[in-house]
Amino acid sequence: AQKVTQAQTEISVVEKEDVTLDCVYETRDTTYYLFWYKQPPSGELVFLIRRNSFDEQNEISGRYSWNFQKSTSSFNFTITASQVVDSAVYFCALRQYNTGNQFYFGTGTSLTVIP
């Protein structure tokens, strides 16, 4: 079964709009780690955030914010006032405590910000 689901394959927004990228995960572990990565056209995945399962505080970093909801197994990512440089593929990933070597990545959401 797929452990990380990113249902949105492609999203297009106009510059300055807000956009939320959805991520739903599946795990039986009570301890786990969630990540978001950005992959710009250059190809290199860039780490954005790590969240531990025991820390449900939402986090804001500049125009980026993350909403972690254990009750719905979701870890959504919002970009406020989007910019053209935000255009990239965004990946959500899960790493379980008991099988720590395996990172489970979603299929990614391709975001295009139109000027």
Partner 1 sequence: ETGVTQTPRHLVMGMTNKKSLKCEQHLGHNAMYWYKQSAKKPLELMFVYSLEERVENNSVPSRFSPECPNSSHLFLHLHTLQPEDSALYLCASSQDRLTGLAGGVSYNEQFFGPGTRLTVL
Q: Which residues bind to partner 1, rule: CB under 8 A?
A: 2, 4, 33, 35, 37, 42-47, 50, 91, 95, 97, 100-108
Least distance CB 111 / partner 1 (angstroms): 16
3-state secondary structure of 54: coil
**Are 40 and 57 a contacting pair, CB within 8 Å?**
no
The tokens describing 99, both together, are: 């099988």
53 or 76: CB nearest partner 1: 53
Least distance CB 99 / partner 1 (angstroms): 9
23 or 82: CB nearest partner 1: 23
Least distance CB 7 / partner 1 (angstroms): 13
Least distance CB 10 / partner 1 (angstroms): 11
82 or 87: CB nearest partner 1: 87
DSSP conformation letters of 60-95: EETTEEEEEEGGGTEEEEEESS--GGG-EEEEEEEE
Helix (H) or strand (E) holding 32: strand 32-39
